[in-house]
Structure formats: C-alpha cells, structure tokens
C-alpha cells in the first residue's frame, strides 16, 4: 500500500446531488425546494428566532428585573484558602499583585477577603475590601489589613 493508491472504503463516499440541471435529470424545475415561498428563493435566511409570523417567544415573555450598572464585582478569597496559601508558599504578606501572580485573580479584578475558615498565622494584607468577621479574625492572630 502506498500513498498514491489510497482509496476510501467502498460505499463511504457518496456523489453530490446536482440539482437544477434540467428536467431530464429528474432534479430540475423546483430543484427539490418545493413551490414558491421564502425558502425556495436564493439567499433565503430566516432570522434565528423567526416563528412564521407568530409573535416570537422573547417578545411574548415579560421583562423582569434589572441589572445594576454600579455593582462592583469582587473576587472572594476566604480565610481557609488564605491559610492554605501561607502553608504552601510560606508567604505572610499579600497584596493584589501577589494574588494575581498566584492565579487567584486577574489584573483588573478587585479582591475581597471573607471570613470562612480559621487563620493561625499572622498575615499582612493589602486588598480592596474585607468582611468584618475576616478583619476580626486576622487582627486576633496579630495580622493587619490595609484597604487599597
């Protein structure tokens, strides 16, 4: 067997149906598109949500709720995750750029420390926000928090 004589398996490749080549072919006339209507014309594309003229679903359903444009999204880091980081890296001073370097946040993210879990090592943080319980826990073990 060589590259020059490779062939597909018998029956695996079908010939393309050539429509619109005269009545004698059996596929002339309407070319398998049926009679008239939008889908028989060339260039016919229906809109993604078109329902045949019926009011589409997204217009039948009522509007609901709103999106607050002033909302500030934070990347949450809990005390237990912080303790794991301290155990793993040995680092006790963290700021936003160190969280970015560790892959916990992106450059544009705002970081907030939350109070789930326990902290046994004093840690010095410089972050965008912190919950009251997390701040109390950090200061209880001798750490400090600075809000950026």
Per-residue pLDDT of the chain (148 residues; tens, 9 = 90+): 899 999 999 999 999 999 999 999 999 999 999 999 888 988 888 888 889 889 999 999 999 999 999 999 999 999 999 999 999 999 999 999 999 999 999 999 999 999 999 999 999 999 999 999 999 999 999 999 999 9
| Number of domains composing the chain | 2
DSSP H helices, 26-127, are: 57-60, 79-89, 96-101
| Separation between Cα atoms, residue 130 and residue 79, nearest integer Å | 11
pTM of the complete model = 0.60
Do residue 78 and residue 35 come from a single domain?
no
Say how many C-beta atoms besides its own lie within 10 A of residue 43's C-beta. 5
Do residue 113 and residue 138 come from a single domain?
yes
| Separation between Cα atoms, residue 80 and residue 75, nearest integer Å | 15
CATH number at residue 80: 3.100.10.10
Query: Of 36, 65, 94, which residue sits at a domain end?
Result: 65
| Separation between Cα atoms, residue 80 and residue 120, nearest integer Å | 10
Range of the domain at 87: 74-147
> If you ran DSSP here, which 8-state letter would residue 61 be given?
S
Residues 6+ away with beta carbon under 8 Å from 56: 49, 50
């Amino acid at each position: 067997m060589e590259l020059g004589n490779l062939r597909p398996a018998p029956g695996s490749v079908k010939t393309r149906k050539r429509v619109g080549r005269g009545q004698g072919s059996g596929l002339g006339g309407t070319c398998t598109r049926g009679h008239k209507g939008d889908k028989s014309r060339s260039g016919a594309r229906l809109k993604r949500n078109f329902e045949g003229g019926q009011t589409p679903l997204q217009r039948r359903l009522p509007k609901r709720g709103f999106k607050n444009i002033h909302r500030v999204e934070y990347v949450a880091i809990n005390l237990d995750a912080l303790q794991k980081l301290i155990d793993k890296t040995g680092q006790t001073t963290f700021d936003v750029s160190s969280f970015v370097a560790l892959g916990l946040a992106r450059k544009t993210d705002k970081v907030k420390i939350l109070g789930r879990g326990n902290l046994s090592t004093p840690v010095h943080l410089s972050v965008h926000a912190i919950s009251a319980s997390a701040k109390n826990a950090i200061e209880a073990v001798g750490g400090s928090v600075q809000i950026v």
